[in-house]
A = this chain, B = another copy of it.
Amino acid sequence: MSEIQRPGALYQQVAAAIREAILSGEFAPGSLLPSEAQLMTRYGVSRPTVRNAIAALRAEGLIDVRHGKGSFVRSSGQPTLTLERRITRTSGDTFAMPNGDLWKEAEEPSTYRARTTKTTGRLLHLDEEEALFGCDRLLTDPRTGTRAMHRTLIPFEVADAVRGLAENPGTHPAAIYQLLSQDGQHLSWTETVRARMPLPDERTTLQLPDATPILHLTRVTHGSDDRALILEELRIGADRAEATYRITIDEQPARRTRA
């Protein structure tokens, strides 16, 4: 039984003791923690208290618990996948993304029709209830098994104006850029990064461990007049992926950003 006293609740003291042992390296990443029974005798507390402490460490993402085996220190390794958020024009109107060839589609893309919501409308400067094409993809990195959810939203108005787009709203993003470019649009993009805890369905389809947030990237494609044309979303587990951007000096005195 070791000496714990300070913070407040018993289970928090136990959690703090274990956390300290982990961060100090006493329990190496990947190693097996003492069993609940051992922790009970070690700290002289009941099983609910031990489990409460373990639940706290779980919520912090410090440990993984496997039924029938035990609690393991999570290896906090850096993300294995770096999403380079750049867009390159290879030749003529052909575009390429740094990781474009990395992803495989885990299942057929599903296209559908949707209506503008408050969120999408704000980004695309559309009134609510306007119709748009949607296309959802489930992507997989075959090397690491990492999954990502991708969504493309195209307003009817845009799809109708661009030859070849309305007939096939499931076109791959790079090909959509090509179509828009061939249509005479000078393209630029704005990307917003958010992070949040996953919803249950996101947790399962992305196969996320406990206490793992997701990165939620929202990309708006702008045309010549800086009008918002296309909306793309990418959702991916934050334990596996990071996003990198390149920033160059903006010589203009300060771009206005439409709210």
Verify A98–B254 contact, CB threshold 8 A. yes
> Once the chains are docked, how many angstroms separate the CA of A210 from the CA of B211?
11
Partner of A55, one of B55, B84, B197: B55
**Residues from chain B with Cβ under 8 Å of A248 in the complex:** 188-189
Answer yes or no: A250 CB below 8 A from chain B CBs.
Answer: yes
> Once the chains are docked, how many angstroms separate the CA of A249 from the CA of B85?
11
Closest residue of chain B to A19, judged by CB? B200
Answer yes or no: A89 CB below 8 A from chain B CBs.
Answer: yes
**Residues from chain B with Cβ under 8 Å of A85 in the complex:** 245, 247
**Residues from chain B with Cβ under 8 Å of A187 in the complex:** 249
Q: What are 20 A-B residue pairs whose CB atoms fall within 8 Å in the complex?
A: A55-B55, A59-B59, A60-B200, A61-B196, A78-B119, A87-B247, A87-B250, A88-B253, A96-B254, A188-B247, A189-B248, A190-B246, A190-B247, A192-B242, A192-B245, A193-B193, A194-B215, A195-B195, A196-B238, A245-B245
